[in-house]
Amino acid sequence: MSQLKPTYERVLLKLSGESLLGNLPRGIDFERTRSIAQEIKDVYELGVQVAIMIGGGNIFRGAEGTNAGMERSAADQMGLLATIINGIALQDALEREGVFTRHISALEIKAVAEPFIRRRVIRHLEKGRIIIFSAGIGSPYFTTDTAAALRALEIRAQVILKATKVDGVYSADPLVDKTATKFDSIRYLDVLNLGLKVMDATAISLCKDNDLPIIVFNLNQKGNIKRAVLGEAIGTKVN
Ligand code: UDP
């Protein structure tokens, strides 16, 4: 174990499906997945308990189905299955880095992943197993951001680390608007009132009502997950 003292003992890392894309238009870039797994291992080696909520947008989003006329619930079930595929890929990548993991799916899929049993998941974390949550909360009309907030609260994580492709929360989309400015910290209510795209409103409200801080940071900068866990001022803190 490292001598560096982490600020957080238990974290929930939200990885979008997009984070596994690398340069691909769709699907899973295995090299990118491996590099993320290495970064997660670095955090684990600090002695931090890590749970991950994995998204599915690199494979399928419910909205793609509904835009084509599908029933929302059916389309969202496809999205949920996409997150399970990513969960399998991430588990494999982490285990090839030599860490122990458990894949927990909110949809029953016994041969692939365990069901969510709160006490059991906490026990896994205490035993040094990295948790991968997939299938969101298992119900349509939700996102994996909201699922991240819910599971973080249930397992008593001290913070949500929301990995993105920008440096934090901006006044406008910095990839589109060059005059956008970055916030070092921002209140939950301001995120909601200004309509800033950090996480969806349900997720932000859940964090706000339960005082769960969110650190929004750029995953494309190597070492950032570790910096966030060590309490370095990176990205934007929502609290
Ligand atoms: N989804 C859902 N319920 C949940 C979480 C996810 O129905 O609790 C579906 C929804 O269709 C969503 C898809 O799964 O579009 C993929 O999740 P998300 O869009 O949150 O993934 P990300 O944007 O993080 O890659």
Q: Point out the ligand 1 atom lying closest to the alpha carbon of residue 17.
A: 25
DSSP 8-state code for residue 19:
G
Give the CA count within 13 Å in the CB-facing half-sphere of 200.
Answer: 12
Task: Give the Å distance between the CA of 226 and the centre of ligand 1.
Answer: 26
Q: Is 234 helix (H, G, I), strand (E, B) or coil?
A: coil
CB 171 within 8 A of CB 226: no
Q: Which residues pair with 104 in a beta bridge?
A: 114, 133
Task: Give the Å distance between the CA of 2 and the centre of ligand 1.
Answer: 35
The pTM for the full model equals 0.96
Q: Point out the ligand 1 atom lying closest to the alpha carbon of residue 14.
A: 24
Q: Point out the ligand 1 atom lying closest to the alpha carbon of residue 61.
A: 15
pLDDT digits (tens, 9 = 90+) for 182-200: 999 999 999 999 999 899 9
pLDDT digits (tens, 9 = 90+) for 12-59: 999 999 999 999 999 999 999 999 999 999 999 999 999 999 999 999
Pocket of ligand 1 (CB under 6 A): 16-18, 55-57, 61-62, 76, 79-80, 82-83, 136-137, 139-140, 142-145, 147
Task: Give the Å distance between the CA of 63 and the centre of ligand 1.
Answer: 9
pLDDT digits (tens, 9 = 90+) for 65-84: 999 999 999 999 999 999 99
Q: What is the DSSP string of 71-132?
A: -HHHHHHHHHHHHHHHHHHHHHHHHHTT--EEEEESS--TTT-B---HHHHHHHHHTTPEEE
User: Rounded to the nearest 10 degrees, what angle do helices 144-154 and 201-209 cross at?
Assistant: 20
Strands 214-218 and 182-183: unpaired
| Best residue for ligand 1 mutational test, from 143, 151, 162, 206 (most atoms within 8 Å of Cβ) | 143
Which of 219, 199, 195 lies closest to 207, judged by CA? 199
Residue nearest to atom 13 of ligand 1 (CA): 79
Task: Give the Å distance between the CA of 78 and the centre of ligand 1.
Answer: 9
